[in-house]
C-alpha cells in the first residue's frame, strides 16, 4: 500500500486551496474512506490544538492557553480519555488504591463507572468506613446509602453519559444498577469444590499410567483446576523411542477396555489431536485425548501428551 493511503498529513501549516479540495484515500482499519483534504486537516488541527491546551494547563501556564476562539470559548473533552479529571481519579484512587485481586478490581471499576461520579464514590467510602470491596458487597447497605443521598437531593450520577436502567425489578434506577453487580454472583467463574474434587480424581486415573513399552514418562503429572474457565484437567507427557504411529491405536484400545467411549475429534490443524474418548466421572463428561506437536509419522520417537479434561458445560474438549 502507498504511503499517501496509510498516513494522515499532520503538517500544521495552512493548507492550499488545491489540498483542501482534493479527495484523499484514508485507511481506517479494514475500510478505505474517501475524504476531502480539508476534513482530514481540520480534524487533526483541532486535536493538536486541544492537546496543546492540556499540556499548557498541566504545566501551570497562565491563561489564555490558545488563540483559537472556538477552543478558547467552549469546553471540549480531552484528546485522550484517560486525561479527563474523572478518569484520572478512577485510575489513581479506584484502580490502584486497593486490592489488585482480579475480582476486586473489576468490582471497583464497574461500581465507579456505573455512576461515574467522584462524589458518589467518596460517599460510599465514607459511609462504609472504607473503600467498597467485592468481598464485603451488600446490596441492601449500598441501596440504603445511595437512597438516603437521593432523598437529600444529592445527585449520584454524572451527567456525562447515561447508563441504561436494567430491568431487575427495583423501584429506583440505582437499585437496578446495584443489582446488576450481582449478575452473576461472581465476576469470574472460579473453580468450585466439585471442580476441585474432579480434578483430584483425574490426576489418579489409571488410563494416564498406560503406555507402550517404548514410552517413558517425561516429567511430573500435571493437574488441577483453571479458575478462568473452571477447567478440571490432568496431563501426563511421554517420550517414546519408537515411531509414534501406533500410539493412538494403543490408547484407543486401552481406553475402551477401561470403559471410555469414542468421541469425534473437533476440526483443527491436522495432527494436533490424534484420538478423543469420553467417560462420565463424578457426574461430569470427561474427555481423553492424545496430542502431538506434529503428525505422528513425521519422525521416529518424540513426545506426546495424554490429557483428561472436563469443563462445566460438558462440551467436547479434545
pLDDT at 1: 35
Question: Which residues span the domain enclosing 306?
Answer: 193-310
pLDDT at 299: 55
Decide if 315 is inside a domain.
Answer: no
Decide if 186 is inside a domain.
Answer: no
- 197 and 152, same structural domain? no
Decide if 318 is inside a domain.
Answer: no
Decide if 263 is inside a domain.
Answer: yes
Decide if 115 is inside a domain.
Answer: yes
- 246 and 278, same structural domain? yes
- 123 and 42, same structural domain? no
Q: How confident is the model at residue 166 (pLDDT cuts 50, 70, 90)?
A: confident
User: Which of 147, 180, 213 is where one domain is finished?
Assistant: 180
pLDDT at 270: 46
User: Which of 158, 180, 202 is where one domain is finished?
Assistant: 180
Decide if 185 is inside a domain.
Answer: no
Decide if 174 is inside a domain.
Answer: yes
Into how many domains does the chain fold? 3
Decide if 187 is inside a domain.
Answer: no
Q: Over the stretch 253-271, which tens digit does the pLDDT of each residue have? A: 999 999 999 988 766 544 4
- 304 and 198, same structural domain? yes
Q: Over the stretch 115-147, which tens digit does the pLDDT of each residue have? A: 999 999 999 999 999 999 998 999 999 999 999
- 88 and 69, same structural domain? no
- What are the DSSP calls for the chain, one per residue? --HHHH------SPPPHHHHH-EEEEEETTEEEEEEHHHHHHHHHHHHHHHHHHHHHHTTPPSP--S-HHHHHS----SSGGGSHHHHHIIIIIISSS---HHHHHHHHHHHHHH--HHHHHHHHHHHTS---STT--HHHHHHHHHHHHHTT---S-SS-------SS-SSHHHHHHHHTTSSSSSS----HHHHHHHHHHHT-GGGG---TTEEE-SPPEEEEETTTTEEEEEEEEEEEEESTTHHHHHHHHHHHTT-EE-PPPS-STTSEEEEEEEEETTEEEEEEEE-SS-GGGSEEEEEEEEEEE-TT-----
Amino acid at each position: 500500500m502507498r504511503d499517501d493511503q496509510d498516513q494522515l498529513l499532520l503538517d500544521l501549516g495552512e493548507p492550499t486551496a488545491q489540498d483542501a479540495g482534493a479527495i484523499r484515500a484514508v485507511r481506517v482499519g479494514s475500510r478505505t474512506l474517501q475524504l476531502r483534504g480539508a476534513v482530514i486537516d481540520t480534524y487533526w488541527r483541532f486535536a493538536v490544538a486541544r492537546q496543546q491546551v492540556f499540556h499548557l494547563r498541566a504545566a501551570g501556564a497562565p491563561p489564555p492557553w490558545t488563540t483559537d476562539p472556538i477552543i478558547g470559548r467552549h469546553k471540549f473533552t480531552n484528546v485522550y480519555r484517560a486525561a479527563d479529571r474523572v478518569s484520572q481519579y478512577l485510575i489513581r484512587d479506584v484502580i490502584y488504591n486497593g486490592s489488585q485481586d482480579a475480582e476486586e478490581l473489576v468490582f471497583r471499576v464497574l461500581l465507579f463507572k456505573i455512576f461515574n461520579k467522584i462524589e458518589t464514590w467518596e460517599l460510599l467510602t465514607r459511609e462504609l468506613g472504607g473503600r467498597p470491596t467485592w468481598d464485603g458487597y451488600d446490596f441492601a447497605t449500598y441501596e440504603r446509602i445511595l437512597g438516603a443521598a437521593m432523598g437529600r437531593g444529592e445527585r449520584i450520577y454524572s451527567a456525562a453519559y447515561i447508563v441504561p436502567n436494567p430491568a431487575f425489578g427495583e423501584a429506583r434506577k440505582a437499585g437496578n444498577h446495584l443489582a446488576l453487580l450481582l449478575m452473576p454472583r461472581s465476576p469470574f467463574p472460579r473453580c468450585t469444590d466439585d471442580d476441585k474434587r474432579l480434578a483430584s480424581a483425574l490426576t489418579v486415573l489409571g488410563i494416564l499410567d498406560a503406555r507402550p513399552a517404548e514410552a517413558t514418562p517425561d516429567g511430573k503429572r500435571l493437574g488441577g483446576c483453571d479458575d478462568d474457565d473452571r477447567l478440571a484437567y490432568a496431563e501426563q507427557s511421554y517420550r517414546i523411542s519408537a515411531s509414534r504411529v501406533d500410539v493412538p491405536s494403543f490408547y484407543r484400545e486401552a481406553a475402551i477396555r477401561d470403559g471410555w467411549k469414542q468421541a469425534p475429534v473437533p476440526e483443527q490443524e491436522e495432527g494436533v489431536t490424534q484420538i478423543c474418548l469420553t467417560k462420565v466421572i463424578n457426574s461430569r463428561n470427561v474427555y481423553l485425548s492424545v496430542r502431538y506437536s506434529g503428525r505422528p509419522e513425521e519422525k521416529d520417537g518424540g513426545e506426546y501428551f495424554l490429557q483428561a479434561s472436563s469443563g462445566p458445560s460438558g462440551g467436547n474438549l479434545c
